[in-house]
Chain A
Protein backbone atom coordinates (compact mmCIF):
# COMPACT_ATOMS: atom_id res chain seq x y z
CA UNK A 1 0.00 0.00 0.00
CA UNK A 2 1.44 3.32 -1.04
CA UNK A 3 0.20 6.82 -0.44
CA UNK A 4 0.96 9.09 -3.41
CA UNK A 5 4.12 10.91 -2.47
CA UNK A 6 2.73 14.41 -2.99
CA UNK A 7 -0.02 13.64 -0.47
CA UNK A 8 2.50 12.48 2.08
CA UNK A 9 4.54 15.61 1.52
CA UNK A 10 1.49 17.79 1.99
CA UNK A 11 0.62 16.04 5.24
CA UNK A 12 4.17 16.40 6.46
CA UNK A 13 4.33 20.06 5.46
CA UNK A 14 1.01 20.89 7.08
CA UNK A 15 1.84 19.12 10.31
CA UNK A 16 5.24 20.77 10.60
CA UNK A 17 3.71 24.18 9.88
CA UNK A 18 1.05 23.54 12.47
CA UNK A 19 3.56 22.38 15.05
CA UNK A 20 5.87 25.28 14.30
CA UNK A 21 2.99 27.69 14.65
CA UNK A 22 1.99 26.19 17.98
CA UNK A 23 5.51 26.40 19.30
CA UNK A 24 5.84 30.02 18.14
CA UNK A 25 2.61 31.21 19.74
CA UNK A 26 3.23 29.31 22.94
CA UNK A 27 6.77 30.59 23.38
CA UNK A 28 5.51 34.09 22.68
CA UNK A 29 2.84 33.86 25.38
CA UNK A 30 5.29 32.36 27.87
CA UNK A 31 8.14 34.77 27.67
CA UNK A 32 9.69 33.59 30.93
CA UNK A 33 8.64 30.43 32.72
CA UNK A 34 10.40 31.45 35.95
CA UNK A 35 8.35 34.68 36.19
CA UNK A 36 5.12 32.74 35.62
CA UNK A 37 6.03 30.18 38.28
CA UNK A 38 6.84 32.87 40.84
CA UNK A 39 3.72 34.86 39.96
CA UNK A 40 1.46 31.79 40.36
CA UNK A 41 3.37 30.50 43.38
CA UNK A 42 3.23 26.99 41.90
CA UNK A 43 5.82 24.79 40.22
CA UNK A 44 4.15 22.11 38.12
CA UNK A 45 6.40 19.04 37.98
CA UNK A 46 5.77 16.11 35.64
CA UNK A 47 6.54 12.85 37.49
CA UNK A 48 5.98 9.19 36.75
CA UNK A 49 3.60 7.36 39.06
CA UNK A 50 4.47 3.88 37.84
CA UNK A 51 8.25 3.96 37.96
CA UNK A 52 9.55 2.93 41.38
CA UNK A 53 11.69 3.96 43.11
CA UNK A 54 11.64 7.28 41.23
CA UNK A 55 7.90 7.81 41.30
CA UNK A 56 5.10 5.49 42.38
CA UNK A 57 1.96 5.48 44.49
CA UNK A 58 2.63 4.73 48.14
CA UNK A 59 0.50 2.74 50.60
CA UNK A 60 -1.24 6.01 51.57
CA UNK A 61 -2.31 6.46 47.91
CA UNK A 62 -0.01 9.46 47.56
CA UNK A 63 2.88 9.58 45.11
CA UNK A 64 6.30 8.98 46.62
CA UNK A 65 9.83 8.36 45.40
CA UNK A 66 13.11 9.97 44.44
CA UNK A 67 11.44 12.34 41.97
CA UNK A 68 8.75 13.39 44.45
CA UNK A 69 11.42 14.34 47.00
CA UNK A 70 13.35 16.09 44.23
CA UNK A 71 10.22 18.06 43.26
CA UNK A 72 9.83 19.20 46.88
CA UNK A 73 13.47 20.21 46.91
CA UNK A 74 12.96 22.31 43.77
CA UNK A 75 9.80 23.87 45.23
CA UNK A 76 11.71 24.91 48.34
CA UNK A 77 14.55 26.38 46.26
CA UNK A 78 12.10 28.44 44.18
CA UNK A 79 10.02 29.22 47.30
CA UNK A 80 6.80 28.03 45.64
CA UNK A 81 4.31 25.23 46.14
CA UNK A 82 4.70 22.03 44.13
CA UNK A 83 1.98 20.64 41.93
CA UNK A 84 2.76 17.03 40.95
CA UNK A 85 1.40 16.17 37.51
CA UNK A 86 1.16 12.48 36.59
CA UNK A 87 2.71 11.86 33.19
CA UNK A 88 3.62 8.82 31.10
CA UNK A 89 6.63 8.13 28.93
CA UNK A 90 4.53 8.74 25.83
CA UNK A 91 2.82 11.99 26.72
CA UNK A 92 5.34 13.83 28.84
CA UNK A 93 7.16 15.67 26.05
CA UNK A 94 3.81 16.97 24.79
CA UNK A 95 2.87 18.03 28.35
CA UNK A 96 6.05 20.08 28.52
CA UNK A 97 5.65 21.60 25.05
CA UNK A 98 2.01 22.51 25.83
CA UNK A 99 3.03 24.12 29.15
CA UNK A 100 0.86 21.73 31.14
CA UNK A 101 3.98 21.22 33.26
CA UNK A 102 6.93 23.54 33.92
CA UNK A 103 9.57 20.84 34.27
CA UNK A 104 9.91 17.10 33.82
CA UNK A 105 11.90 14.77 36.06
CA UNK A 106 13.68 11.51 35.16
CA UNK A 107 14.78 12.71 31.74
CA UNK A 108 17.81 10.96 30.26
CA UNK A 109 19.85 13.12 27.91
CA UNK A 110 19.72 11.93 24.29
CA UNK A 111 20.55 13.76 21.05
CA UNK A 112 16.94 13.34 19.85
CA UNK A 113 15.52 14.94 22.99
CA UNK A 114 18.13 17.71 22.91
CA UNK A 115 16.57 18.91 19.65
CA UNK A 116 13.24 19.52 21.39
CA UNK A 117 13.93 20.34 25.03
CA UNK A 118 16.64 21.65 27.31
CA UNK A 119 18.33 19.90 30.24
CA UNK A 120 19.64 21.07 33.59
CA UNK A 121 22.57 19.36 35.31
CA UNK A 122 22.08 15.74 36.34
CA UNK A 123 20.26 15.22 39.66
CA UNK A 124 19.94 11.43 39.87
CA UNK A 125 22.07 8.50 38.81
CA UNK A 126 20.67 6.06 36.31
CA UNK A 127 22.83 3.19 35.22
CA UNK A 128 22.93 -0.52 34.57
CA UNK A 129 24.82 -2.49 37.18
CA UNK A 130 25.85 -6.01 38.08
CA UNK A 131 24.12 -7.17 41.26
CA UNK A 132 25.13 -10.13 43.37
CA UNK A 133 25.00 -11.55 46.89
CA UNK A 134 27.16 -9.80 49.50
CA UNK A 135 29.16 -12.99 50.01
CA UNK A 136 30.35 -13.09 46.39
CA UNK A 137 33.40 -10.92 45.63
CA UNK A 138 33.00 -9.15 42.30
CA UNK A 139 34.54 -5.73 41.70
CA UNK A 140 34.94 -5.38 37.93
CA UNK A 141 34.30 -7.06 34.59
CA UNK A 142 37.38 -9.28 35.01
CA UNK A 143 35.87 -10.79 38.18
CA UNK A 144 32.96 -12.09 36.09
CA UNK A 145 35.26 -14.92 34.90
CA UNK A 146 33.73 -18.29 35.68
CA UNK A 147 30.52 -16.71 37.04
CA UNK A 148 26.95 -17.12 35.83
CA UNK A 149 25.01 -13.94 35.06
CA UNK A 150 21.34 -13.55 34.12
CA UNK A 151 20.01 -10.87 31.75
CA UNK A 152 16.89 -10.22 29.71
CA UNK A 153 17.78 -11.18 26.16
CA UNK A 154 18.51 -8.46 23.61
CA UNK A 155 18.22 -5.61 26.11
CA UNK A 156 20.83 -2.95 26.79
CA UNK A 157 21.70 -5.06 29.87
CA UNK A 158 22.46 -8.07 27.64
CA UNK A 159 24.49 -6.09 25.12
CA UNK A 160 26.56 -4.15 27.63
CA UNK A 161 27.51 -7.16 29.79
CA UNK A 162 28.15 -9.36 26.74
CA UNK A 163 30.64 -6.73 25.57
CA UNK A 164 32.77 -6.71 28.74
CA UNK A 165 32.41 -10.20 30.23
CA UNK A 166 35.37 -12.58 29.83
CA UNK A 167 34.70 -15.68 27.71
CA UNK A 168 34.68 -17.96 30.77
CA UNK A 169 31.63 -16.12 32.15
CA UNK A 170 28.28 -17.77 31.40
CA UNK A 171 25.57 -15.30 30.41
CA UNK A 172 22.13 -16.84 30.77
CA UNK A 173 19.56 -14.98 28.69
CA UNK A 174 15.90 -14.97 29.65
CA UNK A 175 12.90 -13.79 27.68
CA UNK A 176 12.12 -10.86 29.97
CA UNK A 177 13.54 -9.06 33.02
CA UNK A 178 11.28 -11.06 35.36
CA UNK A 179 12.86 -14.33 34.28
CA UNK A 180 16.34 -12.92 34.78
CA UNK A 181 15.45 -11.58 38.24
CA UNK A 182 13.68 -14.81 39.30
CA UNK A 183 16.70 -16.86 38.22
CA UNK A 184 18.91 -14.65 40.36
CA UNK A 185 16.62 -14.66 43.40
CA UNK A 186 16.32 -18.46 43.28
CA UNK A 187 20.14 -18.75 43.06
CA UNK A 188 20.02 -20.32 39.60
CA UNK A 189 22.62 -17.75 38.62
CA UNK A 190 25.20 -15.94 40.75
CA UNK A 191 24.79 -12.43 39.35
CA UNK A 192 22.31 -10.37 37.37
CA UNK A 193 22.42 -7.17 35.36
CA UNK A 194 19.57 -4.69 35.88
CA UNK A 195 19.10 -0.94 36.15
CA UNK A 196 19.85 0.70 39.51
CA UNK A 197 16.13 1.46 39.84
CA UNK A 198 15.16 -2.21 39.60
CA UNK A 199 18.11 -3.21 41.77
CA UNK A 200 17.05 -0.79 44.53
CA UNK A 201 13.46 -2.08 44.44
CA UNK A 202 14.71 -5.65 44.82
CA UNK A 203 17.10 -4.80 47.64
CA UNK A 204 14.26 -2.94 49.39
CA UNK A 205 12.30 -6.22 49.59
CA UNK A 206 15.25 -7.78 51.45
CA UNK A 207 15.40 -11.16 49.71
CA UNK A 208 17.15 -14.04 51.46
CA UNK A 209 20.31 -13.86 49.35
CA UNK A 210 21.11 -10.24 50.36
CA UNK A 211 21.93 -8.73 46.99
CA UNK A 212 24.11 -5.67 46.59
CA UNK A 213 25.45 -3.63 43.73
CA UNK A 214 28.83 -4.85 42.46
CA UNK A 215 29.82 -2.43 39.68
CA UNK A 216 28.09 -0.29 37.08
CA UNK A 217 28.16 -0.93 33.34
CA UNK A 218 26.40 1.85 31.50
CA UNK A 219 25.42 5.24 32.80
CA UNK A 220 22.77 7.70 31.63
CA UNK A 221 21.97 10.01 34.54
CA UNK A 222 18.59 11.71 34.99
CA UNK A 223 18.21 15.42 34.33
CA UNK A 224 15.45 17.95 34.87
CA UNK A 225 13.88 18.58 31.48
CA UNK A 226 12.49 22.00 30.56
CA UNK A 227 11.51 23.95 27.48
CA UNK A 228 14.20 25.60 25.39
CA UNK A 229 15.06 29.28 25.93
CA UNK A 230 14.17 29.24 29.62
CA UNK A 231 17.57 30.48 30.76
CA UNK A 232 16.55 32.00 34.12
CA UNK A 233 14.60 28.88 35.21
CA UNK A 234 17.44 26.57 34.13
CA UNK A 235 19.96 28.69 36.04
CA UNK A 236 17.82 28.66 39.18
CA UNK A 237 17.35 24.88 39.06
CA UNK A 238 21.05 24.27 38.39
CA UNK A 239 21.87 26.39 41.45
CA UNK A 240 19.40 24.36 43.53
CA UNK A 241 20.92 21.07 42.30
CA UNK A 242 24.47 22.27 43.01
CA UNK A 243 23.46 23.37 46.51
CA UNK A 244 21.65 20.08 47.20
CA UNK A 245 24.70 18.14 46.07
CA UNK A 246 26.92 20.18 48.36
CA UNK A 247 24.79 20.16 51.50
CA UNK A 248 24.07 16.42 51.25
CA UNK A 249 20.32 16.64 50.80
CA UNK A 250 20.49 15.00 47.36
CA UNK A 251 22.71 12.29 48.82
CA UNK A 252 20.07 11.66 51.49
CA UNK A 253 17.41 11.23 48.80
CA UNK A 254 19.67 8.80 46.93
CA UNK A 255 20.31 6.81 50.10
CA UNK A 256 16.62 6.72 50.88
CA UNK A 257 15.35 5.57 47.48
CA UNK A 258 18.29 3.98 45.67
CA UNK A 259 20.10 2.65 48.74
CA UNK A 260 23.44 3.82 47.41
CA UNK A 261 25.27 7.12 47.98
CA UNK A 262 25.08 9.70 45.23
CA UNK A 263 27.98 8.98 42.82
CA UNK A 264 30.70 11.63 43.13
CA UNK A 265 30.89 11.86 39.34
CA UNK A 266 27.27 13.01 38.98
Chain B
Protein backbone atom coordinates (compact mmCIF):
# COMPACT_ATOMS: atom_id res chain seq x y z
CA UNK B 1 0.00 0.00 0.00
CA UNK B 2 1.78 3.07 -1.17
CA UNK B 3 -0.84 5.22 -2.87
CA UNK B 4 0.08 8.88 -3.10
CA UNK B 5 -3.09 10.89 -2.55
CA UNK B 6 -3.39 14.07 -4.55
CA UNK B 7 -6.45 16.19 -3.91
CA UNK B 8 -4.79 19.33 -5.25
CA UNK B 9 -6.42 19.39 -8.69
CA UNK B 10 -9.85 18.62 -7.27
CA UNK B 11 -10.26 22.26 -6.21
CA UNK B 12 -10.50 23.52 -9.81
CA UNK B 13 -13.61 21.34 -10.20
CA UNK B 14 -15.30 22.83 -7.09
CA UNK B 15 -18.09 24.36 -9.18
CA UNK B 16 -18.78 21.01 -10.86
CA UNK B 17 -19.12 19.37 -7.44
CA UNK B 18 -21.27 22.22 -6.11
CA UNK B 19 -23.56 21.95 -9.12
CA UNK B 20 -23.82 18.23 -8.44
CA UNK B 21 -24.81 18.84 -4.82
CA UNK B 22 -27.51 21.31 -5.88
CA UNK B 23 -28.94 18.89 -8.47
CA UNK B 24 -28.96 15.93 -6.06
CA UNK B 25 -30.62 17.97 -3.29
CA UNK B 26 -33.10 19.50 -5.74
CA UNK B 27 -34.12 16.12 -7.17
CA UNK B 28 -34.49 14.70 -3.66
CA UNK B 29 -36.51 17.69 -2.41
CA UNK B 30 -39.00 17.76 -5.27
CA UNK B 31 -39.49 14.00 -5.41
CA UNK B 32 -39.94 13.88 -1.62
CA UNK B 33 -42.71 16.48 -1.67
CA UNK B 34 -44.49 14.95 -4.68
CA UNK B 35 -43.89 11.34 -3.65
CA UNK B 36 -44.95 12.03 -0.05
CA UNK B 37 -48.18 13.72 -1.16
CA UNK B 38 -48.94 10.83 -3.53
CA UNK B 39 -48.18 8.45 -0.66
CA UNK B 40 -50.80 10.01 1.61
CA UNK B 41 -53.45 10.19 -1.10
CA UNK B 42 -52.65 6.67 -2.26
CA UNK B 43 -52.80 5.24 1.25
CA UNK B 44 -56.20 6.87 1.86
CA UNK B 45 -57.51 5.46 -1.43
CA UNK B 46 -56.11 1.99 -0.72
CA UNK B 47 -58.06 1.93 2.56
CA UNK B 48 -61.23 3.76 1.54
CA UNK B 49 -61.35 3.82 -2.26
CA UNK B 50 -63.43 1.72 -4.67
CA UNK B 51 -62.31 -1.85 -5.26
CA UNK B 52 -61.00 -1.30 -8.81
CA UNK B 53 -58.84 1.60 -7.66
CA UNK B 54 -57.52 -0.41 -4.71
CA UNK B 55 -56.57 -3.17 -7.10
CA UNK B 56 -54.86 -0.70 -9.45
CA UNK B 57 -52.82 0.88 -6.67
CA UNK B 58 -51.83 -2.54 -5.32
CA UNK B 59 -50.61 -3.52 -8.81
CA UNK B 60 -48.61 -0.28 -9.08
CA UNK B 61 -47.00 -0.88 -5.68
CA UNK B 62 -46.06 -4.46 -6.58
CA UNK B 63 -44.62 -3.35 -9.92
CA UNK B 64 -42.44 -0.61 -8.46
CA UNK B 65 -41.31 -2.44 -5.33
CA UNK B 66 -40.29 -5.54 -7.24
CA UNK B 67 -38.24 -3.98 -10.03
CA UNK B 68 -34.85 -2.24 -9.82
CA UNK B 69 -34.87 1.55 -9.73
CA UNK B 70 -32.36 1.81 -12.54
CA UNK B 71 -34.63 -0.23 -14.82
CA UNK B 72 -37.53 2.09 -14.00
CA UNK B 73 -35.27 5.02 -14.84
CA UNK B 74 -34.22 3.53 -18.19
CA UNK B 75 -37.85 2.70 -18.95
CA UNK B 76 -38.80 6.36 -18.54
CA UNK B 77 -35.77 7.85 -20.30
CA UNK B 78 -35.03 5.40 -23.12
CA UNK B 79 -38.36 3.55 -23.39
CA UNK B 80 -41.12 6.16 -23.24
CA UNK B 81 -39.80 8.20 -26.21
CA UNK B 82 -40.66 5.20 -28.42
CA UNK B 83 -44.29 5.79 -27.39
CA UNK B 84 -43.93 9.46 -28.26
CA UNK B 85 -43.52 10.63 -24.66
CA UNK B 86 -40.38 12.74 -24.75
CA UNK B 87 -38.85 14.36 -21.68
CA UNK B 88 -35.46 15.69 -20.65
CA UNK B 89 -33.14 13.82 -18.33
CA UNK B 90 -34.08 15.97 -15.27
CA UNK B 91 -37.80 15.41 -15.81
CA UNK B 92 -37.21 11.70 -16.40
CA UNK B 93 -35.19 11.43 -13.18
CA UNK B 94 -37.84 13.36 -11.21
CA UNK B 95 -40.63 11.18 -12.58
CA UNK B 96 -38.80 7.94 -11.85
CA UNK B 97 -37.81 9.05 -8.34
CA UNK B 98 -41.31 10.31 -7.50
CA UNK B 99 -43.04 7.21 -8.82
CA UNK B 100 -40.56 5.04 -6.93
CA UNK B 101 -40.86 6.92 -3.62
CA UNK B 102 -44.68 7.11 -3.86
CA UNK B 103 -44.99 3.31 -4.05
CA UNK B 104 -43.04 2.85 -0.82
CA UNK B 105 -44.68 5.86 0.84
CA UNK B 106 -48.18 4.45 0.21
CA UNK B 107 -47.26 1.26 2.03
CA UNK B 108 -45.63 3.13 4.92
CA UNK B 109 -48.49 5.61 5.38
CA UNK B 110 -51.06 2.82 5.06
CA UNK B 111 -49.34 0.97 7.90
CA UNK B 112 -49.40 4.20 9.92
CA UNK B 113 -53.14 4.73 9.35
CA UNK B 114 -53.88 1.13 10.30
CA UNK B 115 -51.89 1.57 13.51
CA UNK B 116 -54.26 4.31 14.70
CA UNK B 117 -56.94 2.64 16.83
CA UNK B 118 -60.37 2.60 15.21
CA UNK B 119 -61.83 4.11 18.40
CA UNK B 120 -60.11 7.39 17.58
CA UNK B 121 -62.01 7.60 14.31
CA UNK B 122 -65.32 6.68 15.93
CA UNK B 123 -64.76 9.20 18.73
CA UNK B 124 -64.13 11.92 16.13
CA UNK B 125 -67.36 11.00 14.32
CA UNK B 126 -69.33 11.06 17.57
CA UNK B 127 -67.99 14.58 18.18
CA UNK B 128 -69.71 15.66 14.99
CA UNK B 129 -66.75 15.61 12.54
CA UNK B 130 -67.42 14.33 9.05
CA UNK B 131 -65.61 11.19 7.91
CA UNK B 132 -63.21 13.30 5.84
CA UNK B 133 -62.54 15.70 8.74
CA UNK B 134 -61.98 12.80 11.13
CA UNK B 135 -59.40 11.34 8.75
CA UNK B 136 -57.70 14.66 8.03
CA UNK B 137 -57.56 16.09 11.59
CA UNK B 138 -57.54 13.05 13.86
CA UNK B 139 -56.27 9.91 12.15
CA UNK B 140 -53.71 11.24 9.64
CA UNK B 141 -51.60 13.35 12.05
CA UNK B 142 -51.23 10.40 14.42
CA UNK B 143 -50.47 8.06 11.52
CA UNK B 144 -47.78 10.34 10.09
CA UNK B 145 -46.20 10.88 13.50
CA UNK B 146 -46.00 7.12 13.96
CA UNK B 147 -44.34 6.40 10.60
CA UNK B 148 -42.24 9.56 10.29
CA UNK B 149 -38.92 7.77 10.97
CA UNK B 150 -39.75 5.11 8.36
CA UNK B 151 -40.71 7.76 5.79
CA UNK B 152 -37.51 9.66 6.50
CA UNK B 153 -35.46 6.49 5.95
CA UNK B 154 -37.18 5.98 2.61
CA UNK B 155 -36.36 9.55 1.59
CA UNK B 156 -32.71 8.90 2.49
CA UNK B 157 -32.75 5.75 0.35
CA UNK B 158 -34.14 7.77 -2.55
CA UNK B 159 -31.51 10.48 -2.13
CA UNK B 160 -28.62 8.00 -2.02
CA UNK B 161 -30.21 5.89 -4.76
CA UNK B 162 -30.42 8.99 -6.94
CA UNK B 163 -26.73 8.41 -7.69
CA UNK B 164 -27.83 6.18 -10.60
CA UNK B 165 -29.50 9.07 -12.44
CA UNK B 166 -25.99 9.95 -13.63
CA UNK B 167 -26.52 7.00 -15.99
CA UNK B 168 -28.95 9.09 -18.05
CA UNK B 169 -26.56 12.06 -18.04
CA UNK B 170 -28.22 14.00 -15.20
CA UNK B 171 -25.42 16.11 -13.76
CA UNK B 172 -25.85 15.06 -10.13
CA UNK B 173 -23.10 14.55 -7.56
CA UNK B 174 -22.10 11.11 -8.85
CA UNK B 175 -21.98 12.45 -12.40
CA UNK B 176 -19.66 15.19 -11.15
CA UNK B 177 -17.27 12.62 -9.68
CA UNK B 178 -17.37 10.46 -12.81
CA UNK B 179 -16.78 13.50 -14.97
CA UNK B 180 -13.85 14.76 -12.91
CA UNK B 181 -12.14 11.38 -12.71
CA UNK B 182 -12.48 10.94 -16.49
CA UNK B 183 -10.53 14.19 -16.84
CA UNK B 184 -7.87 14.00 -14.12
CA UNK B 185 -7.75 10.19 -13.64
CA UNK B 186 -7.77 10.65 -9.85
CA UNK B 187 -10.69 8.29 -9.31
CA UNK B 188 -9.92 7.36 -5.70
CA UNK B 189 -9.74 11.01 -4.61
CA UNK B 190 -12.94 11.87 -6.49
CA UNK B 191 -14.93 9.07 -4.91
CA UNK B 192 -13.54 9.83 -1.45
CA UNK B 193 -14.65 13.43 -1.91
CA UNK B 194 -18.21 12.58 -2.97
CA UNK B 195 -18.51 9.87 -0.33
CA UNK B 196 -17.78 12.54 2.27
CA UNK B 197 -20.23 14.96 0.62
CA UNK B 198 -23.02 12.34 0.49
CA UNK B 199 -22.35 11.47 4.13
CA UNK B 200 -22.53 15.09 5.29
CA UNK B 201 -25.63 15.71 3.15
CA UNK B 202 -27.42 12.66 4.55
CA UNK B 203 -26.59 13.47 8.17
CA UNK B 204 -27.60 17.12 7.85
CA UNK B 205 -30.81 16.27 6.01
CA UNK B 206 -31.74 13.67 8.61
CA UNK B 207 -31.11 16.14 11.45
CA UNK B 208 -33.10 18.85 9.67
CA UNK B 209 -36.07 16.55 9.01
CA UNK B 210 -36.02 15.14 12.53
CA UNK B 211 -36.15 18.68 13.90
CA UNK B 212 -38.93 19.52 11.48
CA UNK B 213 -40.79 16.33 12.42
CA UNK B 214 -40.70 16.90 16.16
CA UNK B 215 -41.99 20.43 15.56
CA UNK B 216 -44.79 19.31 13.22
CA UNK B 217 -45.93 16.38 15.27
CA UNK B 218 -45.51 17.97 18.76
CA UNK B 219 -47.98 16.37 21.13
CA UNK B 220 -48.79 13.56 18.68
CA UNK B 221 -46.19 11.16 20.00
CA UNK B 222 -47.90 8.30 21.68
Contacts and interface: CB of A to CB of B under 8 A. Distances in A.
Interface string B165-184: 01111000001001101110
Interface stretch (B22-30, B75-83, B110-118): B75-83
Nearest to A182: B78
A154 B169 contact: no
B81 A187 contact: yes
10 contacts: A153-B178, A153-B179, A153-B182, A174-B169, A175-B167, A183-B78, A183-B168, A183-B169, A186-B79, A187-B86
A153 B168 CA distance: 12
Q: Pick from A179, A186, A187, A188 the residue with the most CB of B within 10 Å.
A: A188
Nearest to A178: B78
B140 to A, nearest CB: 40
B171 to A, nearest CB: 9
A8 B11 CA distance: 39
Interface residues of B, number: 18
Contacts of A187: 81, 86
B139 to A, nearest CB: 44
Contact of B182 (A154, A172, A182, A188): A154
A173 B78 contact: no
Contact of A174 (B79, B82, B167): B167
Interface in A130-156: 150, 153-154
A174 B77 CA distance: 13
A222 interface: no
A197 interface: no
A153 B178 CA distance: 8
A179 B182 contact: no
Contact of A186 (B78, B175, B179): B78
A174 B216 CA distance: 42
Interface of A: 150, 153-154, 158, 172-175, 179, 182-183, 186-188
B55 to A, nearest CB: 32
B89 to A, nearest CB: 7
B77 A188 contact: yes
Contact of A188 (B81, B167, B179): B81
Nearest to B169: A172
Interface of B: 77-79, 81-82, 86, 88-89, 166-169, 175, 178-179, 181-183
A172 B92 CA distance: 14
Contacts of A188: 77-78, 81, 86, 88-89, 168
A179 B179 contact: no
A153 B183 CA distance: 9
Contacts of B89: 172, 188
Closest 4 CB pairs of A and B: A154-B182, A172-B169, A186-B81, A182-B78
B166 A175 contact: yes
A183 B166 CA distance: 13
Contacts of B181: 154
A179 B178 CA distance: 15
A158 B88 CA distance: 20
Nearest to A2: B2
B183 A154 contact: yes
A187 B88 CA distance: 10
Given A150-B169, A187-B86, A188-B89, A175 B78 contact: no
Contacts of A179: 167-169
A158 B182 contact: yes
B186 to A, nearest CB: 13
A50 B89 CA distance: 33
Contact of B179 (A150, A173, A182): A173
Given A150-B169, A174-B169, A183-B169, 12 more contacts: A153-B178, A153-B179, A154-B182, A172-B169, A173-B175, A173-B178, A174-B167, A175-B167, A186-B81, A186-B82, A187-B81, A188-B81
Nearest to A174: B169
